[in-house]
Chains A and B, each alone.
Chain A
Amino acid sequence: MEARDTAYQWVDAHRNDMIDLWKEMVTIDSGIGVKEGGMAMGNLCAGILEDLGFSIRRVSYEKCGDTIIAERGDMTKPYIILMGHMDTVFFRGEPERRPFTIRDGKAYGPGVLDMKGGVAILLSALRALDAAGVSDFPVKVILVADEEPAHCFSDAPQLIEKEAKGAKCAFNFETGFTDNSLVVQRKGCWRFFVEVFGRGCHVGNDPENGRSAILEMAHKIIEIEKLTDFSKAYNVNVGTIEGGTVANAAPAYCKVECDFRYTHPEDLPVLRQKVADVCAKTWVPDTVTKLTDSFGFAVMPRLEGNMKLLEVAQEVAAESGFPRPEARLCGGGSDAAYTTAAGVPTLCATGVEGARNHTVEEWADVESFFLRVKQMAGILLKVKDRESF
């Protein structure tokens, strides 16, 4: 494996360059709703990909940065997809408040882990292979700009699924886990609100006129929570509740936010119906209940091919002396749902390792950043000539 050694050597020789790229990305403010930051990330990545010989297509949206679709090689043949998202969950101005910093082997900054580190790894692995003279395989890079708000500004889910048709495998450079595991399966999620409208009254003066929204909601929550069935790999959580204003008034309003996780796509319509049935039932007369969809993300099913890809990653690790990656079922969603929906074997969480996503404590393991570039270069060398998985 002369090419692999060359690629690994390139990585060892370009540690500072790769860190600079990572830092440049974290410094770009591509937080929620910051369209120009999303555009800036897209321009940066598209520029690097063009230099590597990719041709670029863009899909533009009103409220978020472009989706970048970059292709290289003969796309009529089964190709590899490398993907990720360029946005973060933070509000505008976060990179200024919390700039990219490395301390004691850990990198900090908004999106350092989720997933600017992963995007930098994606591009660096392509550069390392290019340096090793390997650029003759069909590959498509898909980078989106509104993953964190569940693609509420774009048609990315449909677009990814469409762009994935004809691919032989996909890698999503989402947040890596510190135990080296790679994600072969993700749960789906359905978020919803339930609101109950009752009737207020003063409890001292006319208590009999009250219709407690909290009482009605309590009945409903108990029924909704009963839907959890771990043996069927789904669970519902009433995560937040707010109701009433003062102790001495019957509460006229109560609201809950719920989160339903499921592993098998076919369970979702059944669960939706069950929740709707609970909401349709009334315990406290004269109360009215409203069920509203919030958002959701689809299941990443465990395709047989996902496990084959994991075996490739395990081979690379064994041959290179890297820690062995095991299979992980992850409770949280990602865009890997949409490549697997197209039937494309996918490995997810191939990005930099770390923890505390979506918080100011978010950190990434710097050494894993280099290791994951090598690992991906090694994986690509093994899969580039295979027809299928």
Chain B
Amino acid sequence: MKTMQDIFAAIDSAKPAMMETWRSLVDRDCGSGNKAGVDAVGQDIKAFLEPLGFKVRFHKYEQAGNMLVAEYGDMTKPFVILTGHMDTVFADGTAAERPFTVKDGRVTGPGVLDMKGGITVMLYAVKTLLEAGWDRYPLKIILAGDEEVGHGWSDAASDYRKEAKGACMAFNYETGFIDDGIVLERKGCAQYRFDFHGVGAHAGNNPEDGRSAVKELCHKALEMEALTDFAEGTTVNVGVISGGTVPNAIPENAWCRVDVRFKTMAGIERVEKAFKEITDETYIDGVTTACRCEVKMGAMERLASSEALFEKAQAVAAEAGLPAMKAIAVGGGSDSAYVTAEGVPTLCAMGVKGQYNHTVREWAEESSLTERAKLSAALLMKL
């Protein structure tokens, strides 16, 4: 086995190849809605990993990009998870409009930061180590195809949890922070649409025949908002509401969109149980309620074991001469939620560093590509 310095030198010399892989991952349309585009990315990554000795399989979904699972080594032993997602938030045509561009040390293009850069970091950290004869842990790479839409049209969330069982630690190559923050905790987020259907009637002529959907909604909105518990870290917001057509008709239909943020899975479970009860109960006879979850990202719970892993990682980084990191908690979600849900210590935001995800201003720091590959290689060598 080579030394850390040898590995770092190999990564430096692989930089042109890394840039080329990064470019090829960015210059293609693979928004969450473009299943064919996302699945093609999966095939390319499969072709990258198989020569290194990985066994690659896919969880296939009808309406969402497939999830890639690549395994290396004896999976009956505690393994390390390296994870991320292959989809972006951008519409078809964006890759041609705003191709991969490097200028003044900043890289731009759709998904350059979120998270094609992170995938590149992960692939080359693994490639460099395996080619140098590294075999400290079995590895499992999990790449989702529909993270940006919260796995709303697939079973990826539950498949994640199944795949995470038996792991000893995990690294998620999500968007890195320019201040070297490493994420140990993320709030979960879920959004629901409630539809209320009553009976319309003319307010002057036969009001007693009407069953107001708006009235039913109001009673239930009060119940929903009352589920907020700041101490628990759970908030429920009835954010958008609409109902009725004209003032002189009893409103037949109404709807609302509700956002739920939560720090713990227990929090969202409590809210979802209450939502079911709210859906099933009736204030105004003759009004029915339907509830649909439109988006759901689990909470990445802060595990004591994640904190311990971070402390060790910090020591390794110092030893390797890499920038000091800081542990942070953020509001936005990631798939790390499903790994911590299985009790696996996890460090998130291990990808390239940059800013302005999900916008045309998205940019990544070119120099962080090799820096972050070195960080991952060092951690896998020393932890």
Q: A218-238 interface mask toward B, CB cutoff 8 Å, 1 = contact, 0 = none?
A: 110110010010100001011
A residues within 8 A CB of B212? 225, 237-238
Is the CB–CB distance between B261 and A222 below 8 Å?
Answer: no
Contact check, A247 vs B237: say whether CB atoms are below 8 A apart.
Answer: yes
Which chain A positions have C-beta within 8 A of B261?
203-204, 207
Q: Does B218 sit at the interface, judged by CB under 8 A?
A: yes
Starting from the known contacts A191-B247, A237-B210, A250-B237, 20 additional A-B residue pairs (CB-CB under 8 Å) come to A189-B248, A203-B235, A203-B261, A218-B219, A218-B221, A218-B222, A218-B238, A235-B207, A238-B212, A239-B203, A239-B214, A240-B214, A240-B245, A240-B246, A241-B244, A247-B257, A247-B258, A257-B247, A259-B247, A332-B204
Contacts of A330 in B (CB 8 A): 204-205
A64 within 8 Å of B (CB atoms)? no
* Residue numbers in A under 8 Å from B247 (CB-CB): 191, 237, 239-240, 257-259, 294
| CB <8 Å contact, B237 and A210 | yes
**B248 adjacent to A248 (CB under 8 Å):** no
In the complex, 21 of the A-B residue pairs with CB atoms within 8 angstroms, ordered by the A residue number, are A189-B248, A203-B237, A203-B259, A204-B331, A214-B221, A215-B222, A215-B225, A217-B218, A218-B218, A218-B238, A222-B222, A228-B207, A240-B243, A241-B214, A241-B243, A243-B240, A246-B240, A248-B239, A332-B202, A332-B204, A332-B205
Q: Which residues of A contact B207 (CB under 8 A)?
A: 228, 230, 235, 237, 261, 331
Chain A residues lying within 8 Å of B222, measured Cβ to Cβ, are 215, 218-219, 222
Interface residues of chain A, those whose CB is within 8 Å of chain B, are: 187, 189, 191, 203-205, 207-208, 210, 212, 214-215, 217-219, 221-222, 225, 228, 230, 235, 237-251, 254, 256-259, 261, 294, 330-333
Q: Measured between C-beta atoms, what is the minimum distance from B241 to chain A in Å? A: 4
Complex formed: what's the CA distance from A203 to B189 in Å?
A: 10
The binding surface of chain B is classed by DSSP as mixed
Complex CA distance for A142 and B349, rounded to whole angstroms: 78
Interface flags for B256-284 (1: CB within 8 Å of A; 0: not) read 11110100000000000000000000000
Interface string of B194-232 (1 = CB under 8 A from A): 000000001111111010101101110110010010100
Least distance between A194 CB and chain B CB atoms (Å): 11
Known: A247-B239, A331-B205. A259 touches B230 (CB 8 A): no
Q: How far is the CA of A258 from the CA of B249 in the complex (A)?
A: 10
Asked if A241 meets B241 with Cβ closer than 8 Å, knowing A204-B261, A221-B215, A222-B219, the reply is yes
In this complex, what residue of B is CB-closest to A250?
B237
Whole-angstrom distance between the alpha carbons of A207 and B239 in the complex? 12
Distance between Cα atoms of A256 and B247 in the complex (Å): 9
Interface residues of B (CB under 8 A from A): 187, 189, 191, 202-208, 210, 212, 214-215, 217-219, 221-222, 225, 228, 230, 235, 237-251, 254, 256-259, 261, 331-332
Q: What is the minimal beta-carbon distance from A186 to any residue of chain B, in angstroms?
A: 8
Q: A189-B204, A330-B205 are in contact. Are A240 and B251 (CB under 8 A)?
A: yes
Measured between beta carbons, the chain A residues less than 8 angstroms from B187 are 204
Cα-based distance from A27 to B258 in the complex (angstroms): 49
Q: Which of A221, A239, A258 gathers most chain B CB within 10 Å?
A: A239
Chain A's closest residue to B219 (CB) is A222
Whole-angstrom CA separation of A245 from B245 in the bound complex: 18
Known A204-B261, A207-B235, A222-B215; judge A237-B242 contact (CB<8 A): no
> A244 contacts B240, CB within 8 Å?
yes
Q: Indicate if the CB atoms of B225 and A259 lie closer than 8 Å.
A: no
Residue of A nearest to B192 (CB): A247
Q: Assess whether B244 is in contact with A261, with CB atoms less than 8 Å apart.
A: no
- A74 to B249 alpha-carbon distance, docked (Å): 45
Distance of A174 Cα from B203 Cα, bound (Å): 19
Q: Are B214 and A249 in contact (CB under 8 A)?
A: no
7 smallest beta-carbon distances between A and B, as pairs = A331-B204, A204-B331, A239-B247, A331-B205, A240-B244, A247-B239, A218-B218
Bound Cα distance A308, B16 (Å)? 100
Set of chain A residues within 8 Å of B256, measured between Cβ atoms: 214
Closest to A284 in B: B225
